[in-house]
Amino acid sequence: MSASKSWRWATGLTASLMLAAGAWAEVTVYEKAPSVEELQQKLMGSGKSGEKKFKTRAIVFGDSAPADAAPAQPQAAPQSAPAPMPAQTPSYAVAAPQPAVAQTMQVSENAIAFPIQFKAGSSQILPESIPFLQSIAGLMQKDPSIRLLVEGHTDITGNYQRNMALSRERAFAVMNYLIDRFGIDPTRIVPVGKGPTDLLPGLDPTDPKHRRVQFRVIG
């Protein structure tokens, strides 16, 4: 069983993200892959007290990952840092899916959004998106204490239920890519699918810019 399939069987993870009252503080949308240092500043920004800014959010954990959420196999990533990890047998145990439970965790106010490109109607990551994933991997390799919420988003075009499922599949694809290509510990990533429920402000609901993957630090 492959690393990604084992992980999908072991997690029994997320069905949806339940938001408490109040708006998020900031979403920074990138058109080009930022440096690791810039990501660190945006995601780990501190307030006047020097502490990270967090808001409590309820995360609802549901059934296992979708069967078609296997990681994409795009063209080889450039040889710049961070270097992908060599293929290896996963060190984490395979377990049966767990029953659905609700869990409250700390989620950063700030988010960064990447225009991760996928093959139309699927969760296959396209090669032009690799630099964005390299930036995220570099941040997680630089600071092993960082855990991330990975949010898949769509616009309102098409069927609502399919958009919810597709956004979830894409969040899992990003998670699996970080695990398989860069050796990121799977316990450091929580994927969620939000579909068209959290559109970017100031844009038409059908604008393709809503189709994005967002990252937030979780405690």
Task: Strands of 46-186 (E only): list them.
Answer: 54-61, 101-108, 110-114, 147-153
How confident is the model at residue 22, as a pLDDT?
38
The mean pLDDT value for 29-43 works out to: 93
3-state secondary structure 71-82: CCCCCCCCCCCC
> What is the percentage of the chain residues whose pLDDT exceeds 70?
62
How confident is the model at residue 25, as a pLDDT?
56
* Least confident stretch, 32-46, 116-130, 156-170, 194-208: 32-46
| 31 Ramachandran zone, left/alpha/beta (phi>0; psi -120 to 50) | alpha
Average pLDDT in the chain = 75
The mean pLDDT value for 188-198 works out to: 94
Per-residue pLDDT at 125 exceeds 70:
yes
> What is the percentage of the chain residues whose pLDDT exceeds 90?
54
How confident is the model at residue 44, as a pLDDT?
82
Domains and CATH numbers, the chain: 3-74+100-218 (3.30.1330.60)
Per-residue pLDDT at 6 exceeds 50:
no
Per-residue pLDDT at 206 exceeds 80:
yes
Is this model's pTM higher than 0.95 or not?
Answer: no
